Amino acid sequence: MLPPPSLGPELHDALDRVLHPQFRCKAVCELRCKHCARMMCQRGMKAILLASSKPGELRVELFSTDSPPPGAELFGDDYTTASCRCLIRDAACLGCGNTVAYNVTKPCATCLQACNNGHLWVLHADSVSSTDRLDTSGRKILRWADLPPAETDGDMAGVHEYSLFCR
Residues 73-129: tens digit of each pLDDT: 999 999 998 888 999 999 999 999 999 999 999 999 988 888 788 889 999 999 999
| Residue 150 near residue 158, CB atoms below 8 Å | no
Lowest-pLDDT choice from 8-12, 17-21, 51-55, 68-72: 8-12
**Average of pLDDT values for 154-163?**
51
What is the Cα–Cα distance from 99 to 73, expressed in whole angstroms?
9
- Residue 43 and residue 119: Cα distance in Å, rounded? 11
C-alpha span between 102 and 134 (Å, rounded): 26
The domain limits of the chain are 8-166
The Cβ of residue 65 has, within 10 Å, a number of other Cβ atoms equal to: 25
- Closest-CA residue to 61 (of 47, 75, 78): 47
**What is the phi-psi region of residue 150: left when phi exceeds 0, alpha when psi lies from -120 to 50, beta otherwise?**
alpha
Q: Residue 55's pLDDT is what?
A: 57
Assigned CATH topology for domain 8-166: 2.170.150
Residue 57 DSSP symbol: S
Q: What is the pLDDT confidence band of residue 31, given thresholds at 50, 70 and 90?
A: very high
Looking at residue 147, its pLDDT comes to 87
Confidence of residue 151 (pLDDT cuts 50, 70, 90): confident
φ and ψ at residue 8, rounded to 5 degrees: 80, 155
